[in-house]
Amino acid sequence: MTGEAHWGAWSHAQPEAATAPALLDPDEASAFAMVNPEGRANALLVCDHASNRVPRRLAGLGLTGDLLQRHIAWDPGAAAVARGLAVRLDAPLILGGYSRLAIDLNRPLASPELIPEQSDGVSIPGNLGLTAAERSARIAGLFLPYHRAIARWLDAHPDPGLRLISLHSFTPTLAGLSRPWPVGLAYGRDARLAGLLRQALARHGDLLIGDNQPYAIEDEYDFTLPTHGERRGIAHVMIEIRQDGIAAPAQVAAWVERLAQAYEGVGKASRGGGELGLAG
């Protein structure tokens, strides 16, 4: 079954989602953005938490503007790095269009964090006491379109050597704990691409690289890479960059170049077979 067929089957199995009222007004931004769809790089970049935008009908989820600027609402800097990397590598990129507080595109549908009632100690009033119809509207309006876009692109570009790279950022401290890694590489059962990227990044001798830190890929908490990468057998990795390292345009540009060089190094290492059997 192709990815698109899988998502079609899922939709038909969810009658509430199929009949949910429209969440987005016609003049609002799409649930996802597709950048450089015909890029020549043998990779698809995705950015689940690219935006802190909230659908108009959700009235800001009852939060102030300053709270929507915080890491609870999105991954600050991740979209800028993803867009820069898409240009630098000539790679296609799919970005989520709305805040992770409206619905988290990287959570399984059964997860209590899919539509969180609180985040990092902050209550989310607009997510309290949702009806089944309200929940279904967010799934149908935001979650499904994003993941269908990924599935359709992958279906249209079948290649056993493809790489799926998910770009995120993380807050320097969480729950009072400092996170020392400037960058982390996350993976689940398939560590192929993470291992090669770690070797390439480690050539910067001063760089502390988190190995499944500050997060690992777990079926209970993650959706994008287990669904679109692991189930298809596509080499994949989640790259997490600490947010204080990509707060300014010059920092973003530096990380874009560092990641691009690491990616190109992986291509050279695997050319002609190698661990991944990938061509650059």
pLDDT, one tens digit per residue, over 79-115 is: 999 999 999 999 999 999 999 999 999 999 999 999 9
Asked if the model's pLDDT at residue 26 lies above 80, the reply is: yes
Got the DSSP string for the chain?
Answer: --HHHHHHHHHHT-HHHHTPPP-S-TTSPPSEEEE-TT--SSEEEEETT------GGGGGGG--HHHHTSTTTS-TTHHHHHHHHHHHHT--EEEE-S-TTT--TTS-TT-TTSS-SEETTEE-GGGTT--HHHHHHHIIIIIHHHHHHHHHHHHHS--TT-EEEEEEEE-SEETTEE---SEEEE-SS--HHHHHHHHHHTTSTT--EEES-S----TTT--HHHHHTGGGT-EEEEEEEEGGGSSSHHHHHHHHHHHHHHHHHHHHHHTTSTTTT---
Residue type present at position 4: E
Please provide the average confidence, as pLDDT, over all residues in the chain: 89
113-140 tens-digit pLDDT: 999 999 988 999 999 999 999 999 999 9
Asked if the peptide bond before residue 214 counts as cis, ω within 30 degrees of 0, the response is yes
| pLDDT score for 78 | 98
Confidence at residue 17, expressed as pLDDT on a 0 to 100 scale: 55
pLDDT digits (tens, 9 = 90+) for 161-208: 999 999 999 999 887 888 999 999 999 999 999 999 999 999 877 889
Contact 124, 70 (CB under 8 A): no
DSSP one-letter string for 112-166: TTSS-SEETTEE-GGGTT--HHHHHHHIIIIIHHHHHHHHHHHHHS--TT-EEEE
How many C-beta neighbours within 10 Å does residue 100 have?
25
CATH class of the region 3-270? alpha beta
pLDDT at 279 over 80: no
User: Is the per-residue pLDDT at 232 higher than 80?
Assistant: yes
Least confident of 61-75, 87-101, 150-164, 201-215: 201-215
Within a 10 A sphere around the Cβ of 125, how many other Cβ atoms?
13
Amino acid at 141: G
pLDDT (average), residues 223-248: 96
The angle, 0 to 180 degrees and rounded to 10, between the axes of the packed helices 78-89 and 249-270 is 50
